[in-house]
Amino acid sequence: DQQVKQNSPSLSVQEGRISILNCDYTNSMFDYFLWYKKYPAEGPTFLISISSIKDKNEDGRFTVFLNKSAKHLSLHIVPSQPGDSAVYFCAARGYSGSARQLTFGSGTQLTVLP
Amino acid sequence: EADIYQTPRYLVIGTGKKITLECSQTMGHDKMYWYQQDPGMELHLIHYSYGVNSTEKGDLSSESTVSRIRTEHFPLTLESARPSHTSQYLCASSGLGEKLFFGSGTQLSVL
């Protein structure tokens, strides 16, 4: 049972426009959320995060929004650039026993067209 | 900039061979992790360690084993590789926070 879902496997956006990547989760005990970016044949790199006590966090062109009642978060990239083309994973922190662990979604391939 | 290294980057090997995937970090992180990822799928945690001589299995059952004899080193071993082990293996570490630093990954192909 997937606790973190990214329902859009792919997204194409024109350069300069806004990219919106979505993520839904089912576990209300998740208390911290992160977005990672991954290029082919490389490991994921951290992009931005948000605590469950906030509803928005912004870092340059990247903004993450959290809607706890809907168990939904989204990543906005404005303006989108061709170098943003990558797979984006959302991740949520939960507990397995006493251990804190991250649960990842299946990723969304973003393609920014020049 | 994260300093976590994985070798080899790519490995093609025959069925039945024993392999060890290397992972080292120079950040002094206590926590280290191994994830497995297939294209279009989520990252699955297969092993983690919260310190020297501490290892635990993750959510995804795996036939691999790990060891943590030194803080900086967290190798993963497959005693007898099979085609079903073909995947990308990602090593990560973290310090006090939740942010994971990932290595570049090992793409394993078992023929």
Closest CA to B77 of B15, B34, B32: B34
Closest CA to A91 of A56, A28, A46: A46
Distance CA A34, CA A92 (A): 6
- Say what the pLDDT of residue B60 is: 79
Query: Which of A42, A93, A101 is nearest residue B45 as measured by Cβ atoms?
Result: A101
Measured CB to CB, residues of chain B less than 8 Å from chain A are 6, 9, 35, 40-45, 48, 50, 56, 58-59, 90-92, 98-105, 107
Confidence label for B1 from pLDDT (cuts 50, 70 and 90): low
Q: Give the pLDDT mean for B26-40.
A: 92
Contact B42 A32 (CB under 8 A): no
Task: Say if residues A55 and A65 touch (Cβ distance below 8 Å).
Answer: yes
Confidence label for B85 from pLDDT (cuts 50, 70 and 90): very high
* β-pair type (A108-113, A10-14): parallel
Is the link from the previous residue into A79 a cis peptide, with omega within 30 of 0?
yes
Structure tokens at B98: 């939740």
Query: Which of B56, B59, B98 is nearest residue A32 as measured by Cβ atoms?
Result: B98
Distance CA B98, CA A113 (A): 33
Contact B42 A4 (CB under 8 A): yes
- Share the mean pLDDT of chain B: 92
Q: Give the pLDDT mean for A78-104.
A: 89
- Say what the pLDDT of residue B97 is: 77
Q: How many CB pairs under 8 A join A and B?
A: 60
